Chain A
Amino acid sequence: MGSEEDIDVSGEDFTDPDDFVDDIDDKELLGDILAEKPQEKKAINNALVLSGLPIVDSARIERLQVFIRDKFLDKHGEVVKFSMPTDENGNSLGFALCCFQTDQQALDALTDIQGASLDKMHTLNVFKFSDFNRLADADDEWKPPEKAPFVDRGDLRSWLREDRCHDQFGVLHTAGSVATIYWHWPGDPQPVDSATRNNWTESRLHWSPLGTYLATYHTKGIALWGGEKFEQINRFQHKNVQIIDFSPCERYLVTFSPSVTKEDPHAIKMFEVDTGKMKRSFLHEQAAKWPVFKWSHKGEFFARVQTGKALQVFETPSFSLLDKKSISVQDVQDLSWSPTDNILAYWIAETDNQPARVILMTMPEKREVATKMLFNVADCRMHWHPQGNYLCVRVNRYTKKKLDADNTPKYINIYTNFEVFRMREKNIPVEKIEVTDAVSCFTWEPHGSKFAMVQGIASKGLSVVFYQVNAHDIEKVKVLEKRNVNTISWSPIGQHVVLAGLRSANGGLEFIDTSDMKTTANQEHFGATDIEWDPTGRYVVTTVSFWHVKVDNASHVYSSHGTLLYKLNKLERICQFAWRPRPPTLLSDEQIKNIKKNMKTYSRRFEKEDLQSSTRASKELLEKRARLKTEYEKWRAKLLEKFRGEKQKRLELRGVDTDELDSNAQDFVEETLEFPIKVERIRIDKLPQVAE
């Protein structure tokens, strides 16, 4: 309190002047404290309604109560009140009410027991008591929603109508503070009009899956841009949003933010892209396993796993659970959708008396179309073929399992199986290949029937192995040994593949044509951190991102055969290179076949056009150089004039003319220097004897 003593306040007058009006309200003075002021509860948030219970008679009602409390409620906290209403005969009504000590306990219980199954016939459906009030408060009379004014956003797909079908790409550069969208004119990318902006995004650029929108990240949420001039289409508020996901149809946007508050505890939000309205939000989930919600190929459904308990499949546009309940599956681990059909694949972990299973189920019928039992399973991963023709389940299996002190299993001697489901054949037959080495980078060939993976461990040398799914078997077509590869990047139209050693693997690139398994080129982009094919499969871009490395940030553009076309190194500190995706082709298979047949006619036309544009470009370059040359000559002429003007002074200073190397030739002195050209040492006694 020493400081108070130091200040002499005796002489000061602190009384307010007469006309003073105290117009500062409490909110301004102590807003932060007021926010924590206890509020009268409008809703009873610690009460839950449990429905979906079996209807029992008065004799068994007590047992049911004890069972429910034991199994579902007591572990989440003290149940203050629990009641199960009955009808006049004493039979239960199929629901119960319970009250927890705190809101949080109720919330925990809700998320935990939602959808839990009591037996085959009964599944719990739990909701908050406050939701009742909300529904009761609803206005009795329906008011039609106000019609939103129509906003013409122009043609959102204008970039696809470019004359020569060039693609666009976005580059985030200058350490992330500037973003530019370019037209990819091979060799000479041109910025799109008004699409170079400072601080366009706070973290990265994110194209929607069909390329219609560009999403940018901001502290306040996500902004979408589109149209010819990249005008703002919509904004979605979500504070500190970190990661997003579009539905494949681009109609919905899912956002995740780790910063949740008491008022807004939902970390995941789902928006409708067109209206900007939030459709539903979910409580905090770990973003580590993003996307938490997986979308079916047309965006009709999205699903998540409640690990060990249930699958939750939601419908759009209602955003409610399909058939109003989750699908209860004991020990379920993960799920994934077919990229072309409404088929959901999920797998169930092994338990003591049951093998692990991979199950394929159609939606919304929930019909199991295939099941595969697996033994000694440590982990499964599902890889769909991009056209949905196959599903490959990578199964990590073990020969021995040990339980640690804390009951977590430890697996010994891991090896890998690949179970390939042939989705297009009757009854979905499954084939197995076994790999004893460690496996990484599994990838399918798009529009093809090959898959590739990296086998082995880095210290002993990695090899890249290609397999081909034939009509009756799966064949190992090629093994490329001793490759320093950590990424296998297929062309989006198949056939061509790049084996890349990104990041610490020094940036070696091997371009392979898988039709004959020949290496078409070997390239190196030292320190490359990213690789991306353009959506048409004509170009590959490798990037050294500023986010990973601070020097030599550049993007290199290669042809699909591995010829280096040009380097994008004029931009400083490139962070991200992102091709704008394209919607799938509108051509039928028949039409594509025809084009392939008449390739020669087409290529002749395009070659002619390419030649024209390149002569135009070189003409421009020549004109530019001619201009530079004239400017330079003018500049030099001025300097030379000054130089000539000083000739007399130079002569005075040195006494001889030294303007040119030979201008004082009369003073040159001829010098002769001798250098030994060769030194040879020969011992005289070893001299060859002269023949007599």
Chain B
Amino acid sequence: FAFSQLSQLNQIMKPICLLGHMRSITQVRFNRDGDLIFTCAKDPHPSIWFALNGERLGSLVGHNGAVWCVDCRWDSKKVLTGSADNSAKLWDTETGKCVLSVDTNSAVRSCGFDFAGTSAMLTTDKTMGYKCTILLYDIRQDPAGQPACQMLVPESKITSAVWGPLSRFLITGHENGDLCQMDVRAQKVIRTEKHHKGAINDIRMYKDGTMFVTASKDHTARLIDSYELQLFKTYKTERPVNSADISPLRPHVLLGGGQEAQDVTTSGAHVGKFDAKFFHTVYEEEFARVKGHFGPINSVGFTPDGRGFVTGGEDGFVRLHSFDNDYFDFEFE
């Protein structure tokens, strides 16, 4: 039913390819307005693009290593990046100037502005004898440089993290598949749930912050509520899922992933299953795929208006798609 429609989708939807990164894309984000795209890759230059036509607004120059994560403040004025060069930087979106840089003990894996945009969260990797750490900075004070508070994570390291509703706590996904609510200010773990059997590669909040979708190495993505971490839906695939997002417009979930690069043994893009997959949020059924990347997809995202989506892959390409009218007419019977 849907696959025939997909082939039409492919013909009409011509994606814009954002060429600018020399290495694998690690994260792709929109600002709240949806007119800017923020990308970071395993090269040291996170970039900002116009969503309208895919032209590059500029690059953020200052990092010396792979950049793992990027986030844009709700008012689009500030950008936060975390890098494997053991630093996180705060940038001015309009000028591209680095306004604040903090050094960490190990690579910064995930970062994020809180709801109000007054503080920033970082999580660091567990390497070279350093424990995985969550750091909170108050970015109103200038220059800051010192974390407002920090919390050591004793067990499995954090592979992805986002702020919970109203930024009362953090929601963290761990390498062993644990999902936790952490109150960093009170230095305690509020709740731990084990919905996944493998590392949680990505957590993406729904637009209202009440629920989120996780993407895991265990070949599934799951829809979970933010308040109680209650599992509600599971989307199964045949390959590790690296990233997932919930459409703000339609009951759809977008999944990206594919065979890990190190496991690719045979040639041919179809073997690794590098398609972006669309699932129905409620029925948990896959209804469409979009081809394009020739390596695993590392990050996906819907545009904030839900009229398009973006994917960033291990192949170094960022592909910006806008849906054609068929997509909005398509209904499950």
Contacts and interface: CB of A to CB of B under 8 A. Distances in A.
Interface of A: 526-527, 551-552, 569, 618, 622, 625, 628-629, 632, 635, 639-640, 642-643, 646, 649-650, 653-654, 658-659, 661, 673, 675
A628 B166 contact: no
Interface of B: 32-34, 50, 52-53, 55, 74, 115-117, 165-167, 208-211, 225-227, 232-233, 238, 259, 268, 270-271, 281-283, 304-305, 332-333
A654 B74 contact: yes
Given A628-B283, A653-B116, A654-B74, A639 B210 contact: yes
Given A635-B232, A654-B116, A675-B53, A629 B166 contact: no
Contacts of B34: 661
A636 to B, nearest CB: 8
Contacts of A625: 282-283, 332
Nearest to B248: A661
Contact of A646 (B166, B268, B281): B166
A526 B273 CA distance: 11
B116 to A, nearest CB: 4
B140 to A, nearest CB: 13
A672 B283 CA distance: 42
A635 B282 CA distance: 11
Given A653-B116, A675-B52, 17 more contacts: A526-B270, A527-B271, A625-B283, A628-B282, A635-B225, A639-B211, A639-B227, A642-B210, A646-B166, A649-B166, A653-B115, A653-B166, A654-B117, A658-B74, A661-B34, A661-B305, A673-B50
A642 B210 CA distance: 8
Contact of B271 (A526, A622, A639, A654): A526
A622 B331 CA distance: 13
Nearest to B227: A642
Contacts of A551: 238, 259
B119 to A, nearest CB: 11
B51 to A, nearest CB: 11
Nearest to B114: A653
A632 B284 CA distance: 11
B225 A639 contact: yes
Given A640-B210, A643-B210, A658-B74, A650 B166 contact: yes
Given A622-B333, A649-B166, A675-B53, A658 B282 contact: no
B201 to A, nearest CB: 18
Given A628-B283, A653-B115, A654-B115, A552 B166 contact: no
A569 B238 CA distance: 9
Contact of B165 (A552, A569, A646): A646
Nearest to B236: A570
A639 B223 CA distance: 13
B228 to A, nearest CB: 10
Contact of A675 (B33, B55, B117): B55
A658 B74 CA distance: 9
Contacts of A569: 238
Contacts of B52: 673, 675
Contacts of A526: 268, 270-271
A652 to B, nearest CB: 9
A306 to B, nearest CB: 46
Contact of A629 (B116, B210, B259, B282): B282
Contacts of B32: 658, 661
Contacts of B116: 653-654
A632 B230 CA distance: 13
Contacts of A675: 50, 52-53, 55
27 contacts: A526-B271, A569-B238, A618-B333, A625-B282, A625-B283, A625-B332, A628-B282, A628-B283, A635-B225, A635-B232, A639-B208, A639-B225, A639-B227, A642-B165, A643-B209, A643-B210, A646-B166, A650-B115, A653-B115, A653-B166, A653-B167, A654-B74, A658-B32, A658-B74, A661-B33, A661-B34, A673-B50
A653 B73 CA distance: 13
Nearest to A677: B53
Nearest to A624: B283
Contacts of A673: 50, 52
A552 B259 CA distance: 11
A629 B268 CA distance: 39
Contacts of B211: 639
**3 interchain residue pairs of minimum CB distance:** A653-B116, A639-B210, A632-B282
A632 B210 CA distance: 14
Contacts of A658: 32, 74
Contacts of B53: 675
Contacts of A618: 333
B246 to A, nearest CB: 12
Contacts of A653: 115-116, 166-167
A676 to B, nearest CB: 9
Contacts of B305: 661
A266 B220 CA distance: 52
Contacts of B226: 639
B237 to A, nearest CB: 10
Contacts of B209: 643
A101 B333 CA distance: 85
A659 B208 CA distance: 7
Contact of A552 (B50, B115, B238, B281): B238
A419 to B, nearest CB: 41
A629 B284 CA distance: 11
B213 to A, nearest CB: 14
A526 B232 CA distance: 33
Contacts of A649: 166
B58 to A, nearest CB: 14
A618 B115 CA distance: 45
Nearest to A633: B282
Contacts of A642: 165, 210, 227
Contacts of A643: 165, 208-210
Nearest to B271: A526
A675 B225 CA distance: 42
A19 B116 CA distance: 86
B304 A661 contact: yes
B231 to A, nearest CB: 11
Most buried by A among B115, B226, B233, B259: B115
